[in-house]
Amino acid sequence: MAADPGQALFPSRGHDHAACVAGALERAAGICARRGARLTPIRRRVLELVWASHAPIGAYDILARMEPESRRSAPATVYRALDFLMAHGFVHRLSSVNAYVGCGFPDNPHMAQFLICKECGAVAEMDEPRIEQAIGSAAAQAGFAVESPVVEVRGRCPACRKEGAPDARP
Ligand SMILES: [Zn+2]
Ligand SMILES: [Zn+2]
Ligand SMILES: [Zn+2]
């Protein structure tokens, strides 16, 4: 692990993902309790579904995976739950793929940068202060007020690069 800290950004294939999900739900429950916010069963379930993998998931895919009794509720319910989860920093929205991904650091509000693998869809979140500062100062020079400084970078993750064959998949 310590040999190549850059690669640790992407979770290894075959890691204990159940632990990621359990950890995310536990952190969210703890933060909600401290903030006096309600992690309702629907919000909790949507968070769990966002964390189903490290790849981003769209709102309609979330809805499709809900239990039948929740699915009867309008997509608006899922969107409202996602708004709540975003407001508390539990998930981020990736506009380039119109989908959501769980955040591993919901305790501290941050501007995030994402590396998005175009092959397997895995996403790694970086919180690199130098990028934030560069965007902030360049935008200030342009007289621009930044509201959504999320950076999305597409490419190939370490696992997909290791598999080689760059053009093997469509
Ligand atoms: Zn995981
Ligand atoms: Zn984050
Ligand atoms: Zn990949």
For the stretch 48-65, pLDDT in tens is: 999 999 999 999 999 999
Instruction: Name the band, by pLDDT with cuts 50, 70 and 90, for residue 13.
Output: confident
Q: CB-based burial of residue 103 (10 Å sphere; 0-12 exposed, 13-18 middle, 19+ buried)? A: buried
Ordered structural domains, the chain, with CATH: 13-103 (1.10.10.10), 110-170 (3.30.1490.190)
Residue 73 has pLDDT above 70, yes or no: no
Q: Ligand nearest 161 Cα, by number?
A: 3
Ligand 3 mean position to 94 CA, how many Å? 16
Question: Which comes out higher in pLDDT, residue 48 or 7?
Answer: 48
Instruction: Name the band, by pLDDT with cuts 50, 70 and 90, for residue 162.
Output: confident
Ligand 3 mean position to 119 CA, how many Å? 5
Give the environment of ion ligand 3: residues with CB less than 5 A: 117, 119-120, 122, 157, 160
Q: CB-based burial of residue 50 (10 Å sphere; 0-12 exposed, 13-18 middle, 19+ buried)? A: buried
